[in-house]
């Protein structure tokens, strides 16, 4: 079985809406071992849509179509699939009743156009849509050859793929081995450094494939293998252990757990608290830490001390140190971390100070020069970094470096 | 002239990299009046790539290909275009010298594979790539029929489209009327409210088309018209003036200027300063304000007072008020804004307090209840909001509401 994804919508061809369906559906299909060879996007035009579906249905056994299931005259997907497969559209009374009820529950009257959302190519299996009026459908139009139609809005499509479409995905996957993945999240090393340190593993990858992805301030190393659950786990465990041995503290977590979530977990386990003093990151460290549900248990306070006056007033940095070393210095970074820790009475203090740019650089301290510091029980560390890139990049990298420094301190590896 | 975009890369078909080229290139082509009828994504497979290019070159006069220009054996775009057009690949010595120099400048030796990045289908015009080793090219392979090849990484592709490709886009646009756009940025109203208030304008849109786009905490209303510069400006000015008359203060800006940039511009014009006190937004207001270059001129400090103790200690909120009204209350929001303003001696103080969730809600103050307050010269205002959505949505909406409140106060419309 192999698949093609056809996305329908003129707005996608105008560049005003980013198409995320290709990536989402491909990732899900890959998990079931179904290869995808083509993504195609076409507008709300009957002729071009039918042509695209005809080509797709010839070269793929499974064609997933997104969009064009709405109530307007521009919504042509059901008509086009009917035309291409030669299946007439038939009305499903129970679906019509459900759509009428959807409107009634909201105190509205169903528009006449919505009636066509209860029409399906003969032989279709309906996929209910809990978040909208457009149901999807699955049609085996010839033996072993399938069309799937899903609505365009991602918040309608995604739950349908993970809900009512799932039994079909499992059926299509059949006995075929599923692709099982694990992502190792790596901080403090660039993509090429990761590849260099693991060069021999990359060269001889076999049952488990490896790929690196550069993400904001970190690298994601994806391990994937086609095998049943227990066999897959044991293969991934073995390789992950070898990679962790080579990269050490740089592998801070796995899969969807962000650096701020890992730091939060460690603080909660230790029943310790944290306060943050930020200059160049301007609140981004605090924002990331407080994105984690339950962070109020360990995050006490943050200070964004942008002006020197604020560093003195809120963090008890001495005016003498500011004058002697400058606001962007190791001494001031440490004083900020120690000051915020002392003032709020927390176990840990974390600080950033630097030049985010585009202005403010000097020959000794060019734009992108940043100090991050941590102070905690028996621990005091400061690091100097030099980032290249625009203001947002400097803020992002600096916030990441600060959180990674705290992570190492919390895990006894600073 | 009409165009098709072909994106090359197996990683796109695995769903591990989101394809943003379709949207970016379509938007740029639309600006030059060039219609796009298809986006196609295909893997690093010579047969399927050549098939896709053959089909595209039949149905579109301009085929833009992204990706597959790297130095490895998987990079097949130049070979495939050569095969489809019947043009042999020829080495451009000056490009080879430039690639060698690119490596020399970085103290590295050019790998043998990079040599093929200096090969181009005969008759190609080279598009230099200032951010990588893969140049692109433009080829008129038959009269009025074109291939464009661009590298896959967005930070390499985008500057090439806006730089060396631009003269070609202008040539292709020819005398054809360009699509001229203006975006009105609207805060404090939902998408359907905007559509309701402008219903008659939407109904009779003619030379200028209108479309709304829901963005994080705001609505973008896009006006577009096909006309020459002066005529387009006068059409857009007239409609924008009518919309501003109807929506008033809700239209806070145009095009790429964010709410935090508009607020910063107003503060700079008035030579006034700002300090921020955040609870539920956790630093996001400060982060957004400090994303604006030059914000250190007016942004003095921020306090993320997550714990009640921090609200007392850093913002001089009275323990009595916290006990009497609760941390999430109009009284505490106002006390936070007034406190941060007084402590840092700024002209303006801005504050947020609320329940971001998922925990912490009560029947009287459910998750999503948020107060935002502003204090300034002769101005004191507080607002209550109730957001629906997850933690990140509540933070984002609350930060937006706080900045919009400050915007109204600064423009004398609070």
Q: Where are the domains of chain A?
A: 2-173, 179-254, 271-410
List the structure tokens of A282. 């301007």
Q: How far apart are CA B414 and CA B411, in angstroms?
A: 8
CB atoms within 10 A of CB A317: 27
Select from B25, B301, B313 the residue whose CB has the most chain A CBs within 10 Å, as the one to mutate to test that interface: B301
Select from B156, B159, B282, B359 the residue whose CB has the most chain A CBs within 10 Å, as the one to mutate to test that interface: B282
A301 neighbourhood in chain B, CB within 8 Å: 303-307, 310, 313-314
- The DSSP bridge partners found for residue B302 are A304, B276
CB spacing of A290 vs B299 below 8 angstroms: no
**pLDDT tens by residue, chain B, 414 residues:** 899 999 999 989 988 889 999 999 999 999 898 999 999 999 999 999 999 999 999 999 999 999 999 888 889 999 999 999 999 999 999 999 999 988 888 788 888 888 999 999 999 999 999 888 899 999 999 999 999 999 999 989 999 999 999 999 999 988 777 888 999 999 999 888 898 899 999 988 889 999 888 888 899 999 999 888 899 999 999 999 999 999 999 999 999 999 999 999 999 999 999 999 999 999 999 999 999 999 999 999 999 999 999 999 999 999 999 999 999 999 999 999 999 999 999 999 999 999 999 999 999 999 999 999 999 999 999 999 999 888 999 999 999 999 999 999 999 887
Burial A108-119 (b: 16+ CB within 10 A, else e): eebeeebebbbb
- Fold that domain B179-254 belongs to in CATH: Alpha-Beta Plaits (3.30.70)
CB A49 within 8 A of CB A66: no
CA B361 to chain centre: 33
CB atoms within 10 A of CB B213: 14
List the structure tokens of B302. 């921020």
DSSP A213-231: EEETTEEEEEEEEES-HHH
CA of B141 vs chain A CAs: smallest distance (Å):
24
List the structure tokens of A196. 């260099």
- Fold that domain B271-410 belongs to in CATH: Maf protein (3.90.950)
Cβ neighbors of B219 (< 8 A, separation 6 or more) are B185, B186, B189, B190, B191, B194, B212, B213
CA of B124 vs chain A CAs: smallest distance (Å):
27
B296 neighbourhood in chain A, CB within 8 Å: 306-307, 360
- The DSSP bridge partners found for residue B373 are B351, B382
B313 neighbourhood in chain A, CB within 8 Å: 301, 343-344
CB spacing of A306 vs B304 below 8 angstroms: no
Q: Which of B213, B283, B310 sits opposite A16 (nearest CB)?
A: B213
CB B259 within 8 A of CB B185: yes
Name the E strands within A306-389: 348-354, 369-376, 379-386
CA max distance for chain B: 83
List the structure tokens of A264. 């939060």
| Residue of chain A minimizing CA distance to B277 | A303
Give the 3-state secondary structure of residue A35.
Answer: strand
Question: By C-alpha distance, which of B26, B51, B36 is closest to B4?
Answer: B36
Question: By C-alpha distance, which of A349, A390, A389 is closest to A372?
Answer: A349
Mean pLDDT of chain A: 94
A26 neighbourhood in chain B, CB within 8 Å: 12-15
Cα-Cα end-to-end distance for chain A: 50
A46-59 and A77-85 are packed helices; what angle lies between their axes, rounded to 10 degrees?
50
CA of B90 vs chain A CAs: smallest distance (Å):
30
Give the 3-state secondary structure of residue B137.
Answer: strand
A357 neighbourhood in chain B, CB within 8 Å: 293
A310 neighbourhood in chain B, CB within 8 Å: 300-301, 344
Each residue's pLDDT tens digit, A3-61: 999 999 998 998 888 999 999 999 999 989 899 999 999 999 999 999 999 999 999 99
Prediction ipTM score: 0.86
CB atoms within 10 A of CB B280: 28
CB B371 within 8 A of CB B328: yes
Q: How far apart are CA A207 and CA A228, in angstroms?
A: 13
**pLDDT tens by residue, chain A, 414 residues:** 899 999 999 989 988 889 999 999 999 999 898 999 999 999 999 999 999 999 999 999 999 999 999 888 889 999 999 999 999 999 999 999 999 988 888 788 888 888 999 999 999 999 999 888 899 999 999 999 999 999 999 989 999 999 999 999 999 988 777 888 999 999 999 888 898 899 999 988 889 999 888 888 899 999 999 888 899 999 999 999 999 999 999 999 999 999 999 999 999 999 999 999 999 999 999 999 999 999 999 999 999 999 999 999 999 999 999 999 999 999 999 999 999 999 999 999 999 999 999 999 999 999 999 999 999 999 999 999 999 888 999 999 999 999 999 999 999 887
Give the 3-state secondary structure of residue B215.
Answer: strand
Q: How far apart are CA A93 and CA A101, in angstroms?
A: 12
* CA angle centred on A212, ends A208 and A216, rounded to 5°: 145
Dihedral over Cα of A391, A392, A395, A397: its sign: negative
Name the E strands within A179-312: 179-187, 208-215, 218-226, 251-254, 274-278, 299-305
Dihedral over Cα of B235, B241, B246, B251: its sign: positive
Percent of chain A at pLDDT > 90 equals 81
Dihedral over Cα of B146, B149, B154, B157: its sign: negative
Residue in this structure with the two tokens 């050490």, named with its chain if needed = A248
| Residue of chain A minimizing CA distance to B8 | A38
What separation in angstroms does the CA of A144 have from each of A2, A60, A177, A400, B334? 11, 11, 19, 49, 66
Q: What is the value of pTM for the model shown?
A: 0.86
Q: Which of A7, A27, A305 sits opposite B16 (nearest CB)?
A: A27
Select from B192, B302, B336 the residue whose CB has the most chain A CBs within 10 Å, as the one to mutate to test that interface: B302
CB spacing of A304 vs B276 below 8 angstroms: yes
DSSP A152-171: SSHHHHHHHHHTTTHHHHHH
Q: Is A84 exposed, middle or buried (0-12, 13-18, 19+ CB in 10 A)?
A: buried
DSSP state of B351: E
Select from A290, A345, A354 the residue whose CB has the most chain B CBs within 10 Å, as the one to mutate to test that interface: A290
| Residue of chain A minimizing CA distance to B32 | A14
CB A377 within 8 A of CB A230: no
Residue in this structure with the two tokens 């585009």, named with its chain if needed = A358
B285 neighbourhood in chain A, CB within 8 Å: 283
CB spacing of A303 vs B302 below 8 angstroms: yes
CB spacing of A304 vs B310 below 8 angstroms: no
Q: Which overall architecture, per CATH, does domain B2-173 show?
A: 3-Layer(aba) Sandwich (3.40)
Q: Which of A23, A287, A314 sits opposite B314 (nearest CB)?
A: A314
Cis peptide upstream of residue B400 (ω within 30 degrees of 0): no
């Amino acid at each position: 079985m192999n698949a093609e994804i056809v996305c329908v919508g003129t707005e996608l061809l105008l560049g005003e809406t980013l198409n995320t369906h290709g990536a989402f559906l491909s990732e899900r299909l890959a998990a079931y071992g179904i290869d995808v060879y083509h993504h195609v996007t076409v507008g709300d035009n009957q002729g071009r849509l039918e042509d695209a579906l005809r080509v797709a249905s010839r070269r793929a056994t499974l064609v997933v179509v997104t969009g064009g299931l709405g109530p307007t005259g521009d919504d042509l997907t059901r008509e086009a699939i009917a035309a291409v497969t030669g299946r007439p559209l038939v009305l499903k009374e129970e679906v019509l009743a459900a759509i009428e009820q959807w409107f009634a529950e909201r105190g509205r009257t169903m528009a006449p156009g919505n009636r066509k959302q209860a029409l399906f190519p003969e032989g279709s299996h309906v996929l209910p849509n809990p978040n909208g009026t457009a149901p999807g459908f699955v049609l085996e139009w010839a033996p072993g050859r399938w069309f799937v139609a899903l609505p365009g809005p991602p918040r309608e499509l995604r739950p349908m793929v993970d809900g009512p479409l799932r039994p079909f995905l499992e059926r299509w996957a059949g006995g075929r081995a599923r692709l099982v993945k694990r992502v190792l999240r790596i901080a403090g090393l660039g993509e090429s450094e990761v590849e260099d340190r693991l060069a021999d593993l990359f060269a001889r990858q076999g049952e488990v494939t490896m790929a690196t992805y550069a993400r904001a301030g970190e690298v994601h190393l994806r391990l994937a293998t086609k095998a049943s659950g227990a066999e897959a786990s044991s293969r991934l465990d073995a390789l992950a252990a070898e990679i962790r041995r080579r990269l050490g503290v740089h592998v801070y977590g796995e899969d969807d757990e962000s650096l701020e979530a890992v730091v939060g977990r460690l603080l909660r386990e230790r029943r310790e608290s944290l306060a943050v003093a930020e200059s160049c990151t301007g609140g981004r460290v605090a924002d990331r830490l407080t994105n984690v549900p339950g962070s109020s248990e360990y995050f006490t306070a943050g200070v964004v001390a942008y002006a020197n006056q604020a560093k003195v007033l809120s963090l008890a940095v001495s005016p003498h140190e500011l004058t002697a070393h400058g606001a962007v210095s190791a001494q001031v970074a440490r004083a900020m971390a120690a000051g915020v820790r002392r003032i709020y009475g927390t176990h840990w203090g974390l600080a950033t100070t630097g030049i985010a740019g585009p202005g403010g650089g000097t020959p000794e301290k060019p734009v992108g020069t940043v100090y991050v510091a941590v102070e905690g029980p028996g621990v005091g560390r400061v690091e100097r970094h030099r980032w290249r890139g625009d203001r947002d990049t400097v803020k992002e990298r600096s916030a990441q470096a600060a959180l990674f420094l705290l992570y190492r301190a919390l895990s006894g590896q600073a």
